[in-house]
Amino acid sequence: MSTCGKPKRSVPTGPQPTSFCLVRHGTTDWNREARIQGCTDTPLNEEGRTEVKELAARLHDEGWELILTSDLQRAKESGKILGETLKIPVFSYEGLRERSFGPLEGLRADEIELAYPAGSDGLSLPGLESRSEIEARALATMTVLASIFTHRRVIVVTHGGFMRAFFKAGLGLERKAPANAERVVVVWNGAWYLGEGGNENGG
């Protein structure tokens, strides 16, 4: 997974930071069809369930204490699978849900390009959450969680768009969405940092 923009910062030494293992939910049928899901409440498919079980096995001995998930079922089911394997509690939090794409949900990129040749970023459509809005929400949500779970180790199961927005707003990174059931560790220690050794597939 490539990055550009600001270089990765090293985590400073000192008191135990607050650590978050950001996990993108497992695969859904709409992921396979390359359709924008947004807040449409799509379920995991069997491939997604298998992916999350495999991730759970890799997380087993890392000392994570609890799981927070988006309130959308693909994230909640991913969190439930992780929680059952790791034997830690699971809670849902609406602030972690995916960016809302309004009438664009269910469409593929080629269909959006055909309908909106000038691009979708500048559109004002009912229910479409702008990039600036999702970035502000992602940063605010993670900041609240950092204040509540100080010095804890927390798995957060969320969505690709939310994670991209947080990378931009919290870390200053233009970073692609992780693959389904991939994790990226971030820490709060007075500022946001990428964690060491917690990013799968090379980063």
Residue 116: per-residue pLDDT: 80
Strand residue runs (E) in the chain: 3-5, 18-24, 66-69, 90-92, 153-158, 173-175, 183-188, 192-194
To the query of whether residue 25 is one of the catalytic residues in this protein, the response is yes
Percentage of the chain with pLDDT > 70? 86
Residue 121: per-residue pLDDT: 65
The string of pLDDT tens digits covering residues 167-197 is: 999 999 999 989 999 999 999 999 999 996 5
Residue 199: per-residue pLDDT: 56
Residue 2: per-residue pLDDT: 33
Q: Which of 25, 51, 135, 159 is catalytic?
A: 25
CB of 21 within 8 A of CB of 155?
A: yes
Q: What is the value of pTM for the model shown?
A: 0.87
Domains of the chain, by residue range, sit at 3-34+46-99+131-194
Nearest to 8 by CA among 131, 181, 174: 174
To the query of whether residue 47 is one of the catalytic residues in this protein, the response is no
Architecture of domain 3-34+46-99+131-194: 3-Layer(aba) Sandwich (3.40)
Given a cut of 70, whether residue 87 has pLDDT beyond it is: yes
Is the C-alpha dihedral spanning 93, 99, 104, 109 positive or negative?
negative
| Mean pLDDT, the chain, integer | 89
Nearest to 2 by CA among 167, 191, 127: 167
Residue 69: per-residue pLDDT: 98
Q: Which of 51, 98, 129, 182 is catalytic?
A: 98
The string of pLDDT tens digits covering residues 1-60 is: 333 344 444 444 556 899 999 999 999 999 999 999 999 999 999 999 999 999 999 999
Ranges of H-type helices in 18-159: 29-32, 46-59, 73-86, 109-115, 131-148
Average pLDDT over residues 99-124: 84
Q: What 8-state DSSP symbol labels residue 180?
A: T
Average pLDDT over residues 116-139: 84
Given a cut of 70, whether residue 118 has pLDDT beyond it is: no
Given a cut of 90, whether residue 139 has pLDDT beyond it is: yes
